[in-house]
Structures are given as structure tokens and as C-alpha cells.
Amino acid sequence: MALKFKIKNNYFQDALRLMRISKNAREKDGVSNAVAVMATDKAKYALKDAGLMTPELQEASGSDLVIAVEASTEDLAAQTIYELEALISSDLSQGSNSSADLIGQELKVVNIGLDIFKDALVAQSVKVVQVDWEVPAKGDEKVINILKKMY
């Protein structure tokens, strides 16, 4: 078995997306294990437990993307890393069943309550829908109980 890896420094990616991409790579003939993860302590523990840890991967930081592949041949491992990297860096892996890439999307907010929150977001050019809401019956329990009976 051949073990190959690649580290992309400061290359944050969505964990759910990485799990989906990794699962697809593991289904490839001749690939016994394939993982693309952010190099967090928990991920490093899982890599070690799976027999994929190397000294270089141990040194990676939590903001680094780690791709590790164990395959029947060196060429297959290298090809699988190349394919994983291509999927990760492209939008092609973002099919209809994928999780949303929240970091790359425009932020849209629904604010319920304090106008100062809305104002702060607007000052940052964030699209905001303000819901005009207040405590029903100004919190009067007797009036709230009457309202409950009405609906």
C-alpha cells in the first residue's frame, strides 16, 4: 500500500463538503482510504487512528487543509490526491446535494427585535429584513392568556 499526502496551508474549507468529497474518493477501486480534512486536533487524532498520520501532517495547523490517500499503488494515490484537490478547489463538487458554502455567499439577515442590530448590519452593507416585533400584550400575563384563547 502507498500513502501520499498534501498540505494546503491556510486553506479553510467546509467540513461537511470535505467529508462528502472524501467519501466519494474512498469508493474508487484500489483506494483503501482517502481523507480531506482541516488539520484540527480531532482530525489529527482520526488520521492517526486510521494509520494515515505522518510527521508532516502532525505539524499542520487547524487552518491547513490536509489530503491523505492510501491506495494500492503510488500512481493511484497521487492521482486520487490530484482529483480530490481539483474537486475541493472547484465549484463542480457543489451539486444540488451539497452543503452550502456559507463563506463564499452574500450574507442576508432577518433581524427580529432591536433596531441597533439592523443598523450595525446595514452599516456593513449587509442585506437585512427587519421584523417589527414586540412582546405580546407588553408581557401582561392576563392579556396574553386572553389572546391565547382567541387563537
What pLDDT digit, counting tens, does each position of 11-43 carry? 988 888 899 899 989 999 999 999 999 999 999
Q: How far apart are the first and last CA of the chain?
A: 67
User: Are residues 14 and 46 both part of a single domain?
Assistant: yes
Domain range holding 25?
Answer: 2-99
DSSP code of residue 1: -
3-class DSSP state for residue 66?
A: strand
pLDDT score at 96: 43
DSSP output for 75-123: HHHHHHHHHHHHHHHSSTT--TTSPP-GGGSPPEEEEES-HHHHHHHHH
The verdict on 70 and 25 lying in the same domain is yes
Q: Are strands 65-71 and 2-8 parallel, antiparallel or unpaired?
A: antiparallel
Q: Tell whether pTM > 0.85.
A: no
Shared-domain flag, residues 57 and 119 = no
124 and 76 part of one domain: no
